[in-house]
């Protein structure tokens, strides 16, 4: 089957490469463990979505690349079907995400409340200290929540680990709930990469469709006039 010379091969390869980068980012954010067990517990569903969509996009890029290189009609149709499916899933999930981010914030706040309100519980201390150290924050909504003792020192996890006495001069200023909100917003941005990649895949389809139409048009109406058969 003759190649469609009107399709810009360079453009197609670069769009597929961009989609591959997006899929790698999604796989990393969906598979790498979070620094704190609290966030890991609160955002487990979001991470699972990112991992699955990242793997799907990666496989889609492989199918698209092979179909372009081999000129396989069957693989090309498979690529078209999978791309349209991806675009539909990404669109539906984008609508769901409008409410899901608020739900994730609520889940995170409830978990943080549970751990910080029971800080004296030995089972909770390790989780809270790890969260504060990793996120470089102090207290749930105010650093003074973590002040202990008559000398007005903060718990050690509220300061850089080399500091001997955790006082107001060296304590982390930002509360932990604010830090958790920033992390969730960042995670949503990573999820948006899946939607962007789906749009890029659709743009590849548009280019393929336009190239095919031009090719067929020039077969029927060549520059020297229509083909006349006896």
Per-residue pLDDT of the chain (230 residues; tens, 9 = 90+): 444 444 456 666 777 777 788 778 778 877 776 656 666 666 777 777 778 878 887 887 777 777 767 766 677 677 777 777 776 776 676 666 655 556 667 777 777 788 887 777 777 788 888 888 888 888 888 887 777 655 457 777 888 766 777 777 778 888 888 888 777 777 677 666 666 666 666 666 656 655 555 555 555 555 554 444 44
What's 4's DSSP letter? -
- The pLDDT value recorded for residue 218 is 58
Two structure tokens written together for 66: 């092979």
CA–CA distances in Å: residue 83 to residues 78, 89, 98, 196: 8, 10, 23, 13
In-domain check, residue 134: no
In-domain check, residue 150: no
Q: Are 157 and 129 in contact (CB under 8 A)?
A: yes
Count CB atoms within 10 A of the CB of residue 159: 22
- What predicted TM-score, i.e. pTM, was given to this entire model? 0.56
In-domain check, residue 207: yes
Q: Are 153 and 147 in contact (CB under 8 A)?
A: yes
Alpha carbons within 13 angstroms on the beta-carbon side of residue 196 total: 15
- The pLDDT value recorded for residue 6 is 43
Closest CA to 218 of 5, 10, 1: 5
In-domain check, residue 56: yes
Range of the domain at 212: 9-100+192-220
In-domain check, residue 93: yes
Strands 153-154 and 147-148: antiparallel
Q: Kindly report the three-state secondary structure assignment for every residue of 21-67.
A: HHHHHHHHHHHCCCCCHHHHHHCHHHHHHHHHHHHHHHHHHHHHHHH
Q: Are 164 and 127 in contact (CB under 8 A)?
A: no
- The pLDDT value recorded for residue 109 is 76
In-domain check, residue 4: no
Q: Measure the CA–CA gap between 203 and 191, rounded to whole angstroms.
A: 19
Total structural domains within the chain: 1
Q: pLDDT tens-digit profile of 164-222? A: 777 777 788 888 888 887 777 776 776 666 666 666 666 666 566 555 555 555 555 55
In-domain check, residue 125: no
- The pLDDT value recorded for residue 204 is 65
- The pLDDT value recorded for residue 108 is 76
In-domain check, residue 85: yes
- The pLDDT value recorded for residue 21 is 80
Q: Measure the CA–CA gap between 38 and 23, rounded to whole angstroms.
A: 26
């Amino acid at each position: 089957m003759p190649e469609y010379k009107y399709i810009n091969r360079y453009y197609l390869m670069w769009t597929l490469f961009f989609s591959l980068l997006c899929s790698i980012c999604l796989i990393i954010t969906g598979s790498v463990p979070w620094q704190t067990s609290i966030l890991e517990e609160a955002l487990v569903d979001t991470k699972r979505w990112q991992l699955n969509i990242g793997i799907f996009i990666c496989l889609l890029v492989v199918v698209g690349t092979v179909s372009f290189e081999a000129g396989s009609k069957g693989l090309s149709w498979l690529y078209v079907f999978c791309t349209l499916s991806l675009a539909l899933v990404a669109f539906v999930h984008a609508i769901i995400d409008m409410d899901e981010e608020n739900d994730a914030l609520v889940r995170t706040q409830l978990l943080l409340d549970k751990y910080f309100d029971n800080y004296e519980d030995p089972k909770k201390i390790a989780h809270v200290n790890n969260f504060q150290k990793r996120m470089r924050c102090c207290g749930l909504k105010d650093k003074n929540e973590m002040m202990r003792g008559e000398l007005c020192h903060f718990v050690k996890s509220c300061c850089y680990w080399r500091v001997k006495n955790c006082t107001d001069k060296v304590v982390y200023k930002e509360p932990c709930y604010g830090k958790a909100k920033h992390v969730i917003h960042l995670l949503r941005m990573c999820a948006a990469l899946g939607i962007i990649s789906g749009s890029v895949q659709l743009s590849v389809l548009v280019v393929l469709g336009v190239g095919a139409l031009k090719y067929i048009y020039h077969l029927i109406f060549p520059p020297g006039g229509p083909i006349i058969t006896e």
